[in-house]
Amino acid sequence: MNHTPHRTAPFSVKEQSGPRADERRHMLLQASMRAENMTRDEPIRIRNISAGGLMAVSRHVVRRGEPVTIVLQGIGEFAGRIAWTQGERFGVSFSRPINPNLVRQAIAQRRTSRVILTHVASPRRPGLRSA
């Protein structure tokens, strides 16, 4: 099957066949989700991600088959459909496969950047005098 390039092409991989043919990457990641029936992006917590989809938690009620867009700040947007729901948990099947390893690398780089910035900050505290 020939797919047209997706705007998040750096994260694309070849399509794999069969349900759950993809290796899952467990994580806890804040993201947001948008759908036609939402007035604003809703916060979600991604629990695991694979090339074909993800499992997340949200207080927003979603319905099986509903088209959604998952927004990972600083990484990209991923279109898909709600595959299943169970209470606050739900699964999203991506419209096009992604590379979850590249998503994890982008997240790790973002976290490393924050850590480096905190270490660069001045160690001098207000009110303390040098001897």
> Average model confidence (pLDDT) for the chain?
75
Using only the alpha carbons of the chain, give its radius of gyration: 19
CATH no. of 9-13+21-119: 2.40.10.220
Instruction: Give the global pTM.
Output: 0.67
pLDDT one-digit tens code per residue, 108-126: 777 655 444 444 444 555 6
DSSP state of 24: P
Residue type, 102: L
Dist. CA 92–CA 69, nearest whole Å: 9
**Percent share of the chain, pLDDT over 70:** 63
Dist. CA 16–CA 97, nearest whole Å: 8
